[in-house]
C-alpha cells in the first residue's frame, strides 16, 4: 500500500514591513503606485496593507521617504575653500540623478521636505560636515545647501517632466543639450549664492 502523502505545511504569511512596502512602490514608481498593486507585489491582501498605510497618499509618502533615506550625499572635496563650488555642483548632480531615477519624487522633496527622523538626521549631518569642510558656520552651510537643493529639485522636476512629454510626443529631444543647459543654470545659481554669503542676514552669517 502506498505511503500516505504528507500534508504540505503552510508557511507563514508574508510579512509587511516598511522596507518591503517601499521596495514594491519603487518598483512601480511613484506616479503608478497603488494600494492594490503594492499588495499584489507583496503577496498580501490590500486589506492587510491598509493596516500599515492609511491611504494612497500615505503610501506614496512612505515610498518617497525611503527613497530619500537611501540616498547618499556625494563625498566632500578636500576641504579647501576652492572646493566649495565643486562640492555644491556634485551635490546638485546627485540630487538631480535621484530625481531622474525616481519620477514623482521631486514634488515630495520640494513641497513636503524632511519629515522622518532619519531624513532630518541625514540632512543635518551633511550640513555639519559641509560647514566644517569649508570653514562655514552651520547657518551658512544650511542656507547654501537648502537653496541649491530646492532649486535643483524644482528645476529637475520641470526639465524631466518636459523631457518625458517630448519623448512621448515623438518630438526630437537632445538630452545632452538639456543637461548642459541645466548644469550651466545651476552653476550660475551656485556662484550667485556663494557670492551672497557675506551679505546674508545676521542669523545666517
Question: Hey, where are the domains in the chain?
Answer: 18-67, 71-204
Average pLDDT rounded to a whole number, residues 182-188: 94
Residue with cell 563650488: 85
Judge whether residue 37 has pLDDT over 70.
yes
Cα separation, 50 vs 53, whole angstroms: 5
Among 45-59, 86-100, 107-121, whose mean pLDDT is lowest?
Answer: 107-121
How high is the mean pLDDT of the chain? 84
Cα separation, 61 vs 42, whole angstroms: 18
Cα separation, 63 vs 69, whole angstroms: 10
Among 13-17, 18-22, 87-91, 197-201, whose mean pLDDT is lowest?
Answer: 13-17
Q: CATH code for 18-67? A: 1.10.10
Average pLDDT rounded to a whole number, residues 190-198: 94
- Which of 4 and 46 is assigned the larger pLDDT? 46
User: Which tens digit of pLDDT belongs to each residue from 50-71?
Assistant: 999 999 999 999 999 999 999 9
User: Which tens digit of pLDDT belongs to each residue from 111-151?
Assistant: 776 678 888 888 999 999 999 999 999 999 999 999 999 99
Judge whether residue 9 has pLDDT over 80.
no
Cα separation, 160 vs 46, whole angstroms: 32
Q: What is the pTM of this model?
A: 0.81
CA dihedral 17, 20, 24, 27 (to 10 degrees): 150
pLDDT for the residue numbered 10: 54
pLDDT for the residue numbered 157: 80
Amino acid at each position: 500500500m502506498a505511503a500516505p502523502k504528507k500534508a504540505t505545511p503552510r508557511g507563514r504569511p508574508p510579512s509587511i514591513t516598511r522596507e518591503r512596502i517601499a521596495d514594491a512602490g519603487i518598483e512601480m514608481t511613484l506616479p503608478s503606485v497603488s494600494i492594490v498593486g503594492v499588495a499584489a507585489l507583496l503577496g498580501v491582501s490590500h486589506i492587510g496593507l491598509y493596516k500599515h498605510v492609511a491611504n494612497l497618499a500615505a503610501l506614496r509618502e512612505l515610498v518617497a521617504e525611503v527613497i530619500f533615506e537611501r540616498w547618499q550625499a556625494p563625498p566632500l572635496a578636500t576641504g579647501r575653500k576652492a572646493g566649495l563650488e565643486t562640492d555644491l555642483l556634485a551635490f546638485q548632480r546627485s540630487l538631480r540623478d535621484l530625481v531622474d531615477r525616481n519620477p514623482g519624487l521631486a514634488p515630495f522633496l520640494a513641497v513636503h521636505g524632511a519629515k522622518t527622523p532619519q531624513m532630518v538626521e541625514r540632512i543635518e549631518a551633511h550640513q555639519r560636515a559641509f560647514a566644517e569642510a569649508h570653514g562655514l558656520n552651520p547657518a551658512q552651510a544650511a542656507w547654501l545647501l537648502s537653496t541649491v537643493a530646492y532649486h535643483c529639485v524644482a528645476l529637475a522636476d520641470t526639465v524631466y517632466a518636459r523631457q518625458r512629454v517630448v519623448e512621448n510626443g515623438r518630438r526630437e529631444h537632445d538630452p545632452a543639450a538639456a543637461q548642459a543647459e541645466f548644469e550651466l543654470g545651476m552653476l550660475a545659481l551656485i556662484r550667485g549664492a556663494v557670492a551672497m554669503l557675506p551679505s546674508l542676514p545676521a542669523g545666517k552669517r
